[in-house]
Structure 1
Amino acid sequence: MSISHPSATSGAVPPHPAGGPDGAAPAARPAQRSISSYTALAQRVREAGLLRRRRGYYWRRICAVVLALAVLATAVQLVGDSWWVLLLAPLVATTLSQVAFLGHDAAHQQVFSSPRWNAIASRCLASLIAGLSHGWWLGKHNVHHAAPNQVGRDTDIDSKVLAFHPDALEGRGRLHRWLLTHQGFWLFPLLLLEGFNLHVDSASAVLRPGKVKRRHVDVLMLAARWAVYAGVLLLAMSPAKAVLFVVAELACFGVLLGGAFVPNHTGMPILARGRKMDFLHRQVLSSRNVGGNLLVDFFMGGLNRQVEHHLFPSMPRPHLKLVQPMVRRHCAEVGVPYTEASFAGAFAAVVAHLNAVGLAGRRRNSCPLAAQLRS
């Protein structure tokens, strides 16, 4: 269940060569220096106690979302078969997005000391409550953490609709390539469909044998979840209003989750297929932090501190803001660019990047930005 990354607790460093003929230790290679640098940072973080679990924090959050869903289900019954009931759909979507973030944290071993209990919590939160297959999401998310923004590995930069890097323009039809020239502006209406896309991908994965581990558990949980959801709605309203309620909820859910994921890596350097890079540079260079206030923290589920999360995936969410000054200072000391933008600035950078990639498809031989992105 753990995400692949260098150990933040072992403190082990690959041994250096014994020395040259004159007995002097040779200079460390750049990759070795980066590994040593990350290990030193991890040691300071561990000594500060920032890798310790925050079970009280997470139990309060879990109880809060369960209570909120119970209150919303009651409100749906009280409002009944009225068009006003659709106003509750965004609140349901907001609560379910918080459930998804908690499932993400449990999958990263942030909640409990026991991997087994983290797995149980993550599966229940994701499959049984949020309605997304835990096994399907975990497989692709592990790869994302191991190789963020790497062509051919990170499926988060693969899309049938958008092109996140110039190589993704290959094989697109003429009309599609023309539409991609302004794809940055298509991002926002497409986010309305992201909730549907996530549920379709999740269901497709669990229905294919061998695609998802413990798929039978996910199938049972997803079926139970949708049965209860449909039952709550149909007890209160007509089938037509129930369908509209689900459509509105999924649209809001897609905007909330997509809005939390998109600015974290889109527009950051793309690693070429097969390219090797040490852990510290790979995680920091490919990630963007999103600054802001408590509302940004809430709606992005703590993922706005993406640099810190990628460096320390098992760190509890409330500790990310505490470790941020240490990480920023360390990156400045070792010369690794650290990127942070405002909420509006992050999305402006995303739109600019997507449009630049789309335009690169029309001017691949003359656009300097396209050449820079390809490199």
Structure 2
Amino acid sequence: MSSLTAPAGRPVPGRGTGHRITHTYTALAQASRELGLQGRTRWFYVLLFGGLVAALGGAATGLILLGDSWLQLLIAGALGLIFTQFAFLGHEASHRQVLASGPANDRAGRVLATLFVGISYAWWMSKHSRHHANPNKLGKDPDIEIDTVSFVEEDAASRTGVMAWFTRRQGWFFFPLLLLEGVNLHINSLRGLFRRGKVEGRWLELGLLAGRFAIYLTLLFWLLPLGLAFAFLSVQLAVFGLYMGASFAPNHIGMPIVPREAKLDFLDKQVRTSRNVAGGWWATVLMGGLNYQIEHHLFPSMPRPHLAKARLLVREHCRAADVPYTETSLLAAWAIVVRHMNRVGLFARDSFQCAMVGELRGR
């Protein structure tokens, strides 16, 4: 596990240098506004939404026309991609990137997430807002909490038995497991809607989800034989989960972990814990703007078309402020994710290890 520490002789950013860096972030934000990078890009999102609806209509037409054919699995894969692109758009609406007002963005985000993607908007907002407030911070960021996999050493060390065996190899299992992430997202969002306490828009979202799955599953099992229908659904969910997970994983996994007691300024904690993916326009299309993760964390409401220009501004600002700015290729980022997960996994207990081996390994 990486820890957020400073080289010898240099104060930890956010403490001794906090005032200076906070001041420079204010200047950075002002510069982005003067360049018009915080302005809305309504026509971009209108065209994007229209294109995705057209793609969805094309997939539905193909589903109807192909009939009893295993070529339907190509349609299933395409739907997995389309639903992920809708999820990217819903993510942007949740950050107020799409429309001018907060309530309008929330309405759009709720429709996109629940009706088109099948995920609770309220659950996503709760989880994702906490992540943005404290990325990679122990005890604060829900995205690094222990789950099937362990993201930090202390969680890996708590594993025993079969889970310890799995955890020591979790890096190799990570991307194959993402094939199940689509199912996991649907289940967790339902759990979020049924949890105790106040959930904004609970009944509206439950209604939208029920309508969405009723129409989708009825159409699927009406048009296709039972076995093909289940195969179709499995492929769609697998592609959706893999695409979602492979797009979000490079953002923070393998970047420094912020200790519980650390107090960092906004710019420092957002930049040091985030990773950009190089590639330009194709990476932006593929990842829905998540490739500019640093800029997205610094300016969460900045529309996708402006992130490339913001990158030039932020990169130069970080160089002047001596804040590490991390950017790598997509393949390299995925390799880093696998290595990091395997390195963390080595801390899982080996139930079959003798005391002498354990003592020698600890030296």
Aligned position for 1:36 = 23
1:223 aligns with 2:210: yes
Which whole-Å CA distance do the structure 1 matches of 2:101 and 2:32 have between them? 21
What amino acid maps onto 1:104 in structure 2? H
Aligned position for 2:193 = 206
Which whole-Å CA distance do the structure 2 matches of 1:347 and 1:245 have between them? 27
User: Contact 2:159/2:167 (CA < 8 Å) preserved in 1?
Assistant: no
Which whole-Å CA distance do the structure 2 matches of 1:298 and 1:58 have between them? 13
1:54 aligns with 2:61: no
What amino acid maps onto 1:306 in structure 2? Q
TM-superposed CA distance for 1:328, in Å, is 0.4
Which whole-Å CA distance do the structure 2 matches of 1:300 and 1:331 have between them? 24
Q: Percent identity, aligned pairs only?
A: 45
Q: Residues 179-258 of structure 1 correspond to what in structure 2 (within 5 A)? A: 179-210=166-197, 212-258=199-245
TM-superposed CA distance for 1:188, in Å, is 1.4
Q: Deviations over 1:57-100 (max 9, x none)?
A: 00111111111111111110000122221111110011111100
Q: Deviations over 1:32-77 (max 9, x none)?
A: 1111010010011110000000000001111111111111111100
Which whole-Å CA distance do the structure 1 matches of 2:360 and 2:85 have between them? 45
User: Contact 1:264/1:306 (CA < 8 Å) preserved in 2?
Assistant: yes
TM-superposed CA distance for 1:175, in Å, is 2.8
Aligned position for 2:246 = 259
Distance change >3 Å, CA 175–CA 113, structure 1 → 2: same
- SS of aligned partner of 1:338: coil
1:349 aligns with 2:336: yes
Which whole-Å CA distance do the structure 2 matches of 1:233 and 1:136 have between them? 27
Kindly indicate whether structure 1 or structure 2 has the higher relative contact order, using CA contacts under 8 Å at least 6 residues apart: 2
Which whole-Å CA distance do the structure 1 matches of 2:253 and 2:277 have between them? 12
What amino acid maps onto 1:247 in structure 2? S
TM-superposed CA distance for 1:231, in Å, is 2.3
- SS of aligned partner of 1:304: helix
What amino acid maps onto 1:135 in structure 2? A
- SS of aligned partner of 1:72: helix
1:109 to 89, 93, 96: 96
Q: Deviations over 1:339-359 (max 9, x none)?
A: 001111111111111111112
- SS of aligned partner of 2:148: coil
User: Contact 1:291/1:343 (CA < 8 Å) preserved in 2?
Assistant: yes
Aligned position for 2:165 = 178
User: Contact 1:149/1:271 (CA < 8 Å) preserved in 2?
Assistant: yes
In structure 1, runs of 5+ residues without a counterpart are: 1-27, 369-375
Aligned position for 1:81 = 68
Which whole-Å CA distance do the structure 2 matches of 1:278 and 1:95 have between them? 37
What is the TM-score normalised by the length of structure 2?
0.90
User: Contact 1:73/1:232 (CA < 8 Å) preserved in 2?
Assistant: no
Which whole-Å CA distance do the structure 1 matches of 2:148 and 2:224 have between them? 35
Which whole-Å CA distance do the structure 2 matches of 1:157 and 1:131 have between them? 23
Which whole-Å CA distance do the structure 1 matches of 2:225 and 2:277 have between them? 42
TM-superposed CA distance for 1:163, in Å, is 1.2
What amino acid maps onto 2:291 in structure 1? N
Distance change >3 Å, CA 367–CA 134, structure 1 → 2: farther
User: Contact 1:259/1:300 (CA < 8 Å) preserved in 2?
Assistant: no
What is the TM-score normalised by the length of structure 1?
0.87
Q: Deviations over 1:225-245 (max 9, x none)?
A: 101111221332123322221
In structure 2, runs of 5+ residues without a counterpart are: 1-14, 350-357
2:115 to 102, 120, 128: 128
1:139 to 106, 113, 126: 126
TM-superposed CA distance for 1:293, in Å, is 4.5
Which whole-Å CA distance do the structure 1 matches of 2:204 and 2:196 have between them? 13
User: Contact 1:205/1:211 (CA < 8 Å) preserved in 2?
Assistant: no
Which whole-Å CA distance do the structure 2 matches of 1:74 and 1:367 have between them? 61
Aligned position for 2:83 = 96
Which whole-Å CA distance do the structure 2 matches of 1:309 and 1:151 have between them? 21
User: Contact 1:268/1:288 (CA < 8 Å) preserved in 2?
Assistant: yes
Which whole-Å CA distance do the structure 2 matches of 1:358 and 1:236 have between them? 45
Aligned position for 1:155 = 142
Aligned position for 1:71 = 58
TM-superposed CA distance for 1:366, in Å, is 6.0
TM-superposed CA distance for 1:211, in Å, is 5.8
User: Contact 1:177/1:361 (CA < 8 Å) preserved in 2?
Assistant: yes
Aligned position for 1:22 = none
